Structure 1
Amino acid sequence: MGGILRCITLTVTISVLVAFPFTTKTEYKVVDLVITYMLLGGAIVLEIYAIVIMLSSDWTMLWMSKHKFMVLDRRAVSSIPLVKNKRWSNSVAQYNLFMFCLKVRPQKFIVIQKVLCIDQLLEYYRYKDSKDVSGELKGLIFEQLREKSRMASEFGACKKLCARRGDQVLEKADCLNKLGWSINGVEFDQSILLWHIATDLCYHSDMNRNLDCGSNPNCEASKLLSNYMLYLLVMCPFMLPNGIGQIRFRDTCAEAEEFFKEKNLLKSDAERACTKLFNVSTDFLPLKVKGDRSKSVLFDACRLAKALQSLESEVHWEDNKEKWEFISHVWVEMLSYAANQCRWKDHGPQLRRGGELLTHVWLLMAHLGLTEQFQISEGQARPKLIAR
């Protein structure tokens, strides 16, 4: 019906354009005639563009394939310059706590922003970046989810696997006793903050040791997922499990800014700031030192970073590559946990804008049968994806 109506409107518009030159126009000014021709021509161009977009849509192609009416080749339609075939920007938003706390970016028109009471809102957006998702990261996510789908032979096992948020990786590496406190027994937003800060500290610590992290795909994947998960915590908290992530983020930022101000590190580079923070003594638990009034996890994250660095010698890893592979696997498991916990009504609107990485992971998990949000009735096969 939509196609028929489009054809009718295009035919009528063209008919008006063809018939108009044969009408009496002596009483009209030249300017009016030119404007009329331009409007008719513009209307025809818009109608043709709308038809091309409609023909290139997935719904039209699906309808044609079902009715064996493939008069149009998808590649032919795709070759039209006006048609955009991008389903996703292939990039994810990035947000870094240290960049935010160090205030390395200049604040323009800050007085006007304060008068309009939008300084806090713009400050959050000022430190938002984006990065492309590499093929290595996509492969890493796919392989981990496919491995989980092989282990999920029944719904009970699937439910347990979906509830894992990094502790399964710790178990495999025999590090649960040493690092389990950062995942088990704490809220998910707290785990995100702890591992985000610890990932940055480990990254800059390795750089200080002249270890090449830039050529390590697992290191880059860990950094990207770390910054992406913090972006979700700060800018899209509705896509994460309920918690007090906003309060923890503010308290952690306040403590970090106070530390950097005391050490004269504000507006300095992140590497120098992380080095100073990494050298802070964590012999005593921060909770015993400052109490529980502040929800900051800054120095707990320092303790986690030092524990991660010490694993290189304790687990007998040959170099930092195995450490970054371990950290990247933790982040992927946290990402899949967040994707599964996010409600479908929050995933849905993201697809209209191309889809968050979190939503794509959720759809892949559903395709592999790794989901708690719906069950396949008894007697029907669980969906499986066979990669060749």
Structure 2
Amino acid sequence: MSSFQESIGRGGAVLHMWNQWAVQILVLTSFSLQVFLFLVGGTRRRGSSTVLRVLLWLAYLTADTVATYTLGHLAITSGSHLHQLSVFWAPFLLLHLGGQDTITAYALEDNRLWLRHLQTLVLQFLGVAYVLYRCLSGSWGLVTAAILMFILGAAKYGDRIWALKCADNIGIDGLTDKYCHKVLNNRYLEVSGMEEEEMVKQGAHILLSICVSQFNDCTLKKTTLYQYKTLEYLVGSKKIYSVIEMELSLMYDMMYTKAGVIHTWYGHGIRLFSVITIVHAFVQFRFFINKDGYRRVDVYITYILVVGAFVLEMTSWIMALGSTWARHFLYIRGWNRLYRVTVSLRRLVNAVGWRMWSGNVGQFNLFKYAQEHASMDMHKLKDLAPPVHISAPTKDLVVNMITKIVARHGGEADGLYSLNQKAENCELPVLDCDFDTRIIIWHIATHAILLWIKDKERQRDDRNYEKAIKTLSNYMVFLLVKHPEMLVAHTSRQLCLEALNLLKFVDTNGLAEYLSQDTLPVQGPLMKNDPCVRGMALAKSLVGNEWERHHLLEVVFGAWVVMLCYAGSHCNRDSHARRLIEQRRRVSNHRVAASRAPLPL
């Protein structure tokens, strides 16, 4: 009985401590989550570790819950148990619900919940108003500061809801204002006189509406003169790939951050009001409020909330004012002095690479996996190799191939979306099969061809082609295994498992010899229509054309580029948008690249 009473006593002590310190713990937890979201929210742009992504996901989900629970706790607690500082903290919780500029949505689906957030805003607005009306009294300075912070919190939460709504309804017409059209149609973007970094970033903003049309599955009505001229120069200067990566970074801003709201007069007005309001709250609390009647820890918590809010808001505003969005705004309005100042400041802090994609893509080679794994369980398939970095020569080869294919089809991009391509005057074998089967067949053929030319003397350009072909081949199979939703509809990863089981019967060392002989390097029953057999037959057919080695590599590379663009053009908007928060953007890159190709030709 005594042990039972002791446990009850300990439980009562814990409950008493919680009742005494619950508000303080919850408020500090809410603030800490906001700091974490501010610091880590933008790391997904370049890719981050799984642990960090999980922590970010937990923080994103927990932040709103903690703030809402704390406001509810304040609302139901009797006034006699709340001191005035606890009530003063309520508007800061509403400010926390407004979130950080670096992350408004963790996933694409979060943008579609803006109506639910609007309902939450109404409820929390009424809840905070109730707490202030019921419990706030005393110093007029404290009352004034609390009311202004209350208005700011509601405005910031509305700011977040508006950003979610804008991200859910991205449109082309509202991207570029009429002033931009009026000015730049007469004075198109003079990218030739810019440094490389500025050329890429300003070019990305000018061409952003074309990128949006790809994500919205809609057709761009008209390409303006300044877009045409800008694109013409960028393609000629071989910077178009960097521009596309920058455009995807801007699309990330529009879909997952407050960029759609910040860079408006309303957005900057809210941020100016927030800085003034928080400074007013600090001055009132620091100089005009008697703090003798409050516990020292509560005073410190209040300072943390006020100073922390100022630092977060001021830092966010400075980042917004120095962003590429703000620089583009200054440029199109001809405010050249301010434009040059912001460019110089960004150069001083070296804010160049944090926006850009990491350039890494996943890899999966069927032959290597079949050799190293006896069990072929689809649920346990792992990446054999770490992601590889896309080199500059590979990017140039891709852009050049897209341009060449478009030119071959009379300047129309439709040629990129047809899987039966012509290689110069020779037509590739027609493969009457589904897209996933085609990937497997070409993957096997590519592996065999690369083995065949491995020991032969070749030039540096050939080595670049080999590396690019291997990267694209392994990447497309990686997508088929890990992200089939990024490919054509009804694509199944099950075909990879079947191919892996069949490759166990293939003598990999005999593949190269098979291309010069007539004996299949197999040790078991393979049917004529099996993808493995068809892949080896395709390789033998291509080698049998007796093309020059460089031309053979160019044909194989062209086939993979076409398949990549075909996948990009047949993948829906949501799949592309979700990949913006991952490292593996290459299909999205080439969907946008394909939309660029016909314009300057």
Provide the TM-score with structure 1 as the length reference.
Answer: 0.70
Change (3 A) 1:203 1:135: same
1:347 pairs with one of 576, 579, 582: 576
Change (3 A) 1:150 1:385: same
Q: Which residue of 2 aligns with 1:268?
A: none
Across the aligned residues of Structure 1 and Structure 2, the Cα RMSD in angstroms comes to: 3.7
Q: Which residue of 2 aligns with 1:150?
A: 407
Matched position secondary structure for 2:381: helix
Q: Which residue of 2 aligns with 1:219?
A: 466
Could you tell me how far 1:99 is from its partner in structure 2? Answer: 3.2
Could you tell me how far 1:58 is from its partner in structure 2? Answer: 4.1
Contact 2:365 2:477 in 1 (8 A): yes
Instruction: Map residues 89-168 of structure 1 onto 2, 5 A cutoff.
Output: 89-103=358-372, 121=379, 123-127=380-384, 129-153=386-410, 159=414, 161-165=415-419, 167-168=421-422
Change (3 A) 1:166 1:94: farther
Change (3 A) 1:247 1:213: farther
Contact 1:13 1:44 in 2 (8 A): yes
Could you tell me how far 1:101 is from its partner in structure 2? Answer: 2.5
Matched position secondary structure for 2:386: strand
Change (3 A) 1:45 1:211: farther
Tell me how far apart the structure 2 counterparts of residues 94 and 133 of structure 1 sit (CA, whole Å): 12
Tell me how far apart the structure 1 counterparts of residues 369 and 486 of structure 2 sit (CA, whole Å): 22
Tell me how far apart the structure 1 counterparts of residues 425 and 501 of structure 2 sit (CA, whole Å): 34
Q: Which residue of 1 aligns with 2:345?
A: 76
Q: Which residue of 2 aligns with 1:35?
A: 301
Matched position secondary structure for 2:387: strand
Opposite residue 385 of structure 1, the aligned amino acid is P
Matched position secondary structure for 2:566: helix
* Alignment partner of 1:253 is 2:500: yes
Once structures 1 and 2 are overlaid, which stretch shifts more, 25-34 or 8-17? 25-34
Matched position secondary structure for 2:357: coil
1:51 pairs with one of 289, 312, 317: 317
1:335 pairs with one of 560, 564, 570: 564
Change (3 A) 1:36 1:81: farther
Q: Which residue of 1 aligns with 2:84?
A: none
Q: Which residue of 2 aligns with 1:385?
A: 600
Q: Which residue of 1 aligns with 2:508?
A: 274
Matched position secondary structure for 2:493: helix
Contact 1:249 1:296 in 2 (8 A): no
Matched position secondary structure for 2:349: coil
Tell me how far apart the structure 2 counterparts of residues 6 and 361 of structure 1 sit (CA, whole Å): 37
Matched position secondary structure for 2:406: helix
Could you tell me how far 1:221 is from its partner in structure 2? Answer: 0.5
Change (3 A) 1:44 1:78: farther
Query: Unpaired segments of 5 or more residues in structure 1?
Result: 108-118, 261-272, 370-383
Contact 1:188 1:243 in 2 (8 A): no
Tell me how far apart the structure 2 counterparts of residues 324 and 151 of structure 1 sit (CA, whole Å): 18
Q: Which residue of 2 aligns with 1:16?
A: 281
Tell me how far apart the structure 1 counterparts of residues 351 and 311 of structure 2 sit (CA, whole Å): 12
Contact 1:251 1:296 in 2 (8 A): no
Tell me how far apart the structure 1 counterparts of residues 327 and 361 of structure 2 sit (CA, whole Å): 29
Query: Unpaired segments of 5 or more residues in structure 2?
Result: 1-265
Could you tell me how far 1:218 is from its partner in structure 2? Answer: 0.4
Tell me how far apart the structure 2 counterparts of residues 213 and 35 of structure 1 sit (CA, whole Å): 67
Contact 2:466 2:553 in 1 (8 A): yes
Q: Which residue of 2 aligns with 1:185?
A: 432
Q: Which residue of 2 aligns with 1:381?
A: none
Opposite residue 259 of structure 1, the aligned amino acid is F
Change (3 A) 1:321 1:231: same
Change (3 A) 1:310 1:95: same
Could you tell me how far 1:216 is from its partner in structure 2? Answer: 0.6
Tell me how far apart the structure 1 counterparts of residues 330 and 583 of structure 2 sit (CA, whole Å): 24
Contact 2:436 2:491 in 1 (8 A): yes
Change (3 A) 1:138 1:126: closer
Change (3 A) 1:223 1:126: closer
Contact 1:91 1:131 in 2 (8 A): yes
For residues 116-161 of structure 1, the C-alpha deviation after alignment (integer angstroms, 9 at most, x for no partner) is xxx854x33443631111221221122222223334447xx654x2
Matched position secondary structure for 2:361: strand
Matched position secondary structure for 2:293: coil
Tell me how far apart the structure 2 counterparts of residues 204 and 148 of structure 1 sit (CA, whole Å): 27
Matched position secondary structure for 1:62: helix
1:199 pairs with one of 429, 432, 446: 446
Could you tell me how far 1:44 is from its partner in structure 2? Answer: 1.9
Contact 2:275 2:310 in 1 (8 A): yes
* Alignment partner of 1:300 is 2:534: yes
Tell me how far apart the structure 1 counterparts of residues 367 and 521 of structure 2 sit (CA, whole Å): 22
Could you tell me how far 1:45 is from its partner in structure 2? Answer: 1.9
Could you tell me how far 1:185 is from its partner in structure 2? Answer: 1.7
Opposite residue 130 of structure 1, the aligned amino acid is P
Could you tell me how far 1:360 is from its partner in structure 2? Answer: 1.8
Matched position secondary structure for 1:129: strand
Q: Which has the larger radius of gyration?
A: 2
Contact 2:511 2:521 in 1 (8 A): no
For residues 214-272 of structure 1, the C-alpha deviation after alignment (integer angstroms, 9 at most, x for no partner) is 9710000000110111122222222322355423212111222x437xxxxxxxxxxxx
Contact 1:206 1:213 in 2 (8 A): no
Change (3 A) 1:25 1:65: same
2:592 pairs with one of 345, 360, 363: 363
Q: Which residue of 2 aligns with 1:373?
A: none
Change (3 A) 1:81 1:42: farther
Contact 2:443 2:473 in 1 (8 A): yes
1:4 pairs with one of 269, 276, 290: 269
For residues 333-359 of structure 1, the C-alpha deviation after alignment (integer angstroms, 9 at most, x for no partner) is 222232233334543443465772222
